[in-house]
Structure formats: structure tokens, C-alpha cells
Amino acid sequence: MAIKIAFYDTKPYDRVWFDEYNKEYGFEITYFEHKLNNATARTSSGFDVVCTFVNDTLDAEVLQILLDNHIRLIALRCAGFNNVDLKFICDKIPVVRVPAYSPNSVAEHAIAMLLTLVRNLQHAYVRTREFNFSLGNLIGFDLHGKTVGVIGTGKIGRAFISICKGFGMKVLAVDGFQDDSLGVEYSDLDTVLRNADVVSLHCPLTKDSYHMISREKLAMMKSSAILINTSRGALVDSIALADAIQTKKLGGAALDVYEEESNLFYEDNSFSIITDDTLIRLISMPNVLVTSHQAFLTKEALQAIAATTLKSVNDYFTDGTVENSVCYKTVKA
């Protein structure tokens, strides 16, 4: 009997490559557009595996429902797992993830957002669409010779550093595990924030990193500095960020993530009234660029996500292997 997988929070671009790579395995896949949460978790009944994404909820309440429905494996088709109550679930159901799908896709998106912001390309695009070819208020600045602070030098951080070096930027880095082969200067967070012209976040969200960019930390940064976040929204205190930009204590921000994004991103809200005042403030600012958690969205990344996720499912049900586990202990199939 084929293994049954329930996919949550899916879009058409998810299905293309999962359907393609599933030809090798023959799993019985059902795609749900709704997110996994306490209101929808009971739809997992009859399945062997649930496959979730970044904004699905896997707290103790939801996980208990999955247990009651006899789910045997949780497969995260993403790298982050801050939305999973690991303490509750790790000795009950194995949880696997995609630890590295395409570091270059996220790093390149961060650079694309940075270039767009510092050269005012978003405003230039709108102008020329209206045949307005004036250059007023479009003055940017060179990246060459500037200092970039990279918070987190894992695979994505390293890819970002490589690009920055190509622009001739000086790199300051923060990470508990220093990689001397990168040829960058490691320092503490406060020193980096005080000296960097650009700060880019490439670290996971944990209880220790929650709001690591706080009101106090933002006050340390140069008034001309640019903050980039392509990691997790809650790394940044969004209200403090909006205040800092509005009062001209920060030069601008490029955000691919937002701490209250779960009910907004990936959906068409163009005919809805947005009630999140902080997000409205940020998007309305001319020196803030927001994209909807799309940094991962390349063909190469989607292929890697599908291939890794389905292989993890196959390995577990074939011989009990849990290669990409996020748990400190594993449960046998």
C-alpha cells in the first residue's frame, strides 16, 4: 500500500516538482491549500506523513492531533523549524527538514533587494512605466568600499559574503562558530552594528535570537545603514524598526520576512483591508522594500526541496533512516 502524504499550505509551484520527483517513489500525495493549524489538523486523518512549510503551526495542540491521527513522520519542506514544538514531539514522531536547498537563491535575493534599495530601482521602475524619466531623488550610493555586517555565516551567509566580496565590500561577521577560511573579520554583534553600512541577517530564529535586532540595537546602527532580513521575521522588532526608519535613525530596510507574516504572505490580499498597522507603515515608506518570503523561490531551490523531502520520506519508510532529522532523538519506523 502506498505511503500517503498530506501537503499543507501548497501553491501550484510546489506541486510541479513534487509531482515530477514522486514518479520515482509512487507516494499517494494530497495537496491542501490551507495551512496546518489547530483548526485544520484533523484533515491529516488517514495519512502517514504530513509535509509542512514555514508558516504552518506545529505547536503541542496540533502535534497531539497528529499523534491521535497516527501520523508517522513530519516532513518540513524548508530549513527552519522554529514553528515546531520539538520538546513535545521529538520522542514521539520523527521530524525531518531540508537543511540546504539553494543557499545561493537566498543570498542572491538579499543582494537583489539591497541593490534595488540603494539605487532606488523600485522608484525608477514605476516612473519609467509612466514615461517619467526624471532622476530627481534617485541618488544612490556605491557598495564598493562599504562595510557589510553578516549575522550568521552558515551556508547562506557564506554565499552572501562571497557576493559582497565581489562588490569590493569589507565584511564583518558574527557567528558562534567562526570559519577562518572565509577571510572575514569576526566580531561581536554590537561592534558590527555600530560599524556596518549594511547589515544582513542569515541566522535561525531561536528563543535567544528572538528580536536580536531590538530598539536598543537599532539605535547603535548608523543613521544611513541598511538592514536586510531574508531569514525569519521575528529576528527583528518590527515596531522598533518602523520607528527607527520613520525618525530617520536608520537608512532603510529590505525585508523578505516579517514577524506577523503567517496570515498575509503567499496570499493575494489586494482586495482586503490590512489591519497590521506596522506592516502598513513599513510598506508605505519609500526606503523600505518588502517581498513576500520569496528569497527561496528559484527553480533550483524548488527542485532541491522536492528531491530532498521525498527522499527523506522514502528512506524512513524503507529502512528507518532519518538523515535530516531536527530532533535530538529519533523514532524507528
**Catalytic residue ranges:** 232, 261, 293
Q: Hey, which residues does 226 pair with through a beta bridge? A: 198, 252
* Pairwise CA distance, residues 254 & 282, whole Å: 10
* Pairwise CA distance, residues 64 & 44, whole Å: 12
Buried b (16+ CB within 10 A) or exposed e, 188-216: eeeebbebbbbbbbbbebeeebebbbeee
Q: Are 259 and 233 in contact (CB under 8 A)?
A: yes
∠ CA 258-129-198 to the nearest 5 degrees?
Answer: 35
* Pairwise CA distance, residues 275 & 279, whole Å: 9
Buried b (16+ CB within 10 A) or exposed e, 241-268: bbbbbeeeebbbbbbbbbbebbebbbee
Work out the number of other CB atoms within 10 angstroms of the CB of residue 181: 7
53: cell is: 512549510
CA–centroid distance for 304 within its chain: 16
The closest alpha carbon to 155, from 217, 105, 113, belongs to 105
Dihedral sign, Cα of residue 96, residue 28, residue 7, residue 333: negative
